[in-house]
């Protein structure tokens, strides 16, 4: 049976400032009501499969768990990578875990941040690949190109597999090819022998591990050691951190698929897009009469071929074209669509400047809810805090800051140095420096409050936790 392995550890930096390392694109509803991760999981409906395994990093574990709960996927497993090591080690962890359970499933490896419009065609390609995977071949899915694209790697097909019907052919893999220049991409398209590399794979767990052991025994050994000490932590599975830190980083393509003699490519014509940048996002989104994609409070006049997103304030355009305009609560990006692929150079500047906006949104998600940093200055910060019904923040204290909470809506159960009190709308409370305190929402609706922090140091690391429902002590 198929065992879906969803890789959800990417940072999606080409969609900055929408996507940031602490809240990357796979968790954002870029193309519909559900996030990219949720769409990936919903796309499995109709295939016979085991409960999925989602592999993500430590920072995004609570977002992942929350989005699975929204889909009522209570039987899914979340595996935490202590450090990013690319796809080859990630899939090896999943394969070893399957073998520990005495199983040898077909691993269907899926990036969490891709768009597939034709789910039926995707299912048909997967069903076609199952026959090859059951015969110990390593299947990749090659997207049938619609234009000369320089942002994707390519797969060059070889001879047709003799077992396939001509109505749905599959091919031996002749080569994996790096991202080409435009002239080379045009030759690839004209030849008909090249596919875009989708990053989707299907193979037996045992067969993948055997090939990994043959070609990258160092990765094999490190991952084998890492899963030898699995432990459960709330909704998550943790591995041995020291062993995985010793693991080299490499992709499935480089580590196995480019070296194996048993790679098969199944053509995929299903409206695939990796939504790797704003040009791709504009291409797949619904547009108005002027070919504009508009999200949020946006007005345009004599403007066309725009991608405009605003989650904070009104944006108006006049007499412009071919622009990307993204307004978040803390950042504004204005870019020409033709230069949207040059995002890496801009982000390098932000890295050198040590800007927090590179990684963090102003609104930060936590397992109990979220907070929005409204204002800050020397010795003070103001946050708007939302606490989900029934959720409780950790029992904690601060060495350097005091806090003043004003309830905006809902009911708060506040405990300060062992004394409990209930607060409702327009009531407030003061928490002195070093006071041990906690905040809980005992109600059935969201709790919202304004928090004013004051003190000599206001960093998030000035939190001493004594008790926590989410294992962060």
With a pLDDT cut of 90, the percent of the chain lying above it is 75
Angle ∠(181,186,189) on CA atoms, nearest 5: 125
- What pLDDT sits at residue 473? 61
**Residue 472 banded pLDDT, cuts 50, 70, 90:** low
Q: Which of 236, 208, 212 is nearest to 222 (CA)?
A: 212
Pairing between β-strand 154-160 and β-strand 194-204 as defined by DSSP bridges: antiparallel
Q: Which of 236, 18, 8, 33 is nearest to 113 (CA)?
A: 8
Residues 6+ apart with CB under 8 A from 78: 53, 54, 55, 56, 61, 64, 65, 68, 235, 236, 237
Q: How far apart are CA 412 and CA 442, in angstroms?
A: 7
Residue extents of the structural domains in the chain: 2-273, 278-349, 363-467
In tens, the pLDDT along 74-128 reads 899 999 999 999 999 999 999 999 988 878 999 999 999 999 999 999 999 999 9
> What's the burial of 244, exposed, middle or buried (CB within 10 Å: 0-12/13-18/19+)?
buried
- What pLDDT sits at residue 456? 92
In tens, the pLDDT along 394-424 reads 999 999 999 999 999 999 999 999 999 999 9
- What pLDDT sits at residue 459? 87
**Residue 23 banded pLDDT, cuts 50, 70, 90:** confident
Q: Which of 247, 172, 173 is nearest to 216 (CA)?
A: 247
3-state SS assignment for residue 297: coil
Q: How far apart are CA 93 and CA 9, in angstroms?
A: 14
The DSSP output letter for 436 is: -
The token pair that represents 155 in the structure block: 């797969």
Q: How far apart are CA 9 and CA 110, in angstroms?
A: 12
* Helix 205-215, helix 87-100: angle, nearest 10: 130
Q: What is the mean pLDDT of the chain?
A: 92
The token pair that represents 142 in the structure block: 């090659």
- What pLDDT sits at residue 102? 79
- What pLDDT sits at residue 439? 96
Stretch 253-272: mean pLDDT: 94
With a pLDDT cut of 70, the percent of the chain lying above it is 98
Stretch 154-181: mean pLDDT: 85
Q: What is the CA radius of gyration of the chain?
A: 25
- What pLDDT sits at residue 233? 82
Give CA 217 to chain center in angstroms.
Answer: 28
Angle ∠(40,43,48) on CA atoms, nearest 5: 120
The pTM of the full predicted model, rounded to 2 decimals, is 0.88
Is the pLDDT reported for residue 165 higher than 70? no
Contact between 454 and 401 under an 8 Å Cβ cutoff? The reply is yes
Protein fold of 2-273: Spore Coat Polysaccharide Biosynthesis Protein SpsA; Chain A (3.90.550)
Higher-confidence residue of 33 and 385: namely 385
Q: How far apart are CA 13 and CA 373, in angstroms?
A: 22
Q: How far apart are CA 74 and CA 446, in angstroms?
A: 23
Is the pLDDT reported for residue 166 higher than 80? no
363-467 — its CATH code? 2.60.120.10
Residues 6+ apart with CB under 8 A from 170: 128, 129, 132, 139, 160, 161, 164, 264, 265, 266, 267
3-state SS assignment for residue 96: helix
């Amino acid at each position: 049976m198929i065992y879906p392995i969803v890789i959800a550890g990417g940072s999606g930096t080409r969609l900055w400032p929408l996507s940031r390392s602490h809240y990357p694109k796979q968790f954002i509803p870029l193309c519909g009501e559900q996030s990219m991760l949720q769409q990936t999981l919903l796309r499995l409906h109709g295939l016979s499969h085991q409960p999925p395994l989602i592999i993500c990093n430590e920072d995004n574990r609570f977002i992942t768990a929350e989005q699975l709960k929204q889909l009522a996927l209570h039987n899914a497993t979340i595996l935490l990578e202590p450090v990013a090591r690319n796809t080859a080690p990630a899939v090896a962890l999943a394969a070893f875990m399957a073998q520990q359970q005495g199983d040898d499933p077909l691993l269907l490896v899926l990036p969490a941040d891709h768009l597939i419009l034709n789910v039926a065609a995707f299912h048909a390609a997967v069903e076609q690949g199952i026959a090859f995977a059951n015969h110990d071949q390593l299947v990749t899915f090659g997207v049938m190109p619609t234009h000369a694209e320089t942002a994707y790697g390519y797969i060059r097909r070889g001879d047709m597999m003799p077992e396939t019907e001509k109505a749905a052919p599959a091919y031996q893999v002749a080569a994996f090819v790096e991202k080409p220049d435009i002239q080379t991409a045009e030759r690839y398209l004209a030849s008909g022998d090249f596919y875009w590399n989708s990053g989707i794979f299907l193979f037996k767990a045992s067969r993948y591990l055997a090939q990994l052991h043959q070609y990258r025994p160092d990765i094999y050994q490190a991952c084998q050691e890492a899963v030898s000490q699995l432990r459960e932590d709330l909704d998550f599975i943790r591995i041995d951190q020291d062993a995985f830190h010793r693991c080299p980083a490499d992709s499935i393509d480089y580590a196995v698929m480019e070296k194996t003699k048993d790679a098969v490519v199944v053509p995929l014509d299903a409206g695939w897009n990796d939504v790797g940048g704003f040009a791709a996002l504009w291409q797949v989104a619904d547009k108005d009469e002027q070919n504009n994609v508009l999200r949020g409070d946006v007005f345009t006049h004599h403007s066309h071929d725009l991608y405009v997103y605003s989650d904070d304030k009104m944006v108006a355009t006049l007499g412009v074209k071919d622009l990307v305009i993204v307004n978040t609560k803390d950042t504004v990006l204005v870019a020409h669509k033709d230069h949207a692929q040059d995002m890496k150079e801009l982000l390098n500047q932000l890295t050198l400047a040590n800007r927090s906006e590179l990684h963090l949104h102003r609104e930060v998600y936590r397992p109990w809810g979220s907070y929005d940093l409204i204002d800050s200055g020397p010795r003070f910060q103001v946050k708007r805090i939302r606490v989900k019904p029934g959720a409780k923040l950790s029992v904690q204290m601060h060495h350097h800051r005091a806090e003043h909470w004003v309830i905006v809506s809902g009911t708060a159960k506040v405990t300060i140095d062992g004394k409990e009190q209930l607060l409702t709308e327009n009531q407030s409370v003061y928490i002195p420096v070093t006071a041990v305190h906690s905040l809980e929402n005992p109600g059935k609706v969201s709790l919202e409050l304004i928090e004013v922090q004051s003190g000599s140091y206001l960093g998030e690391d000035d939190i001493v936790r004594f008790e926590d429902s989410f294992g962060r002590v």
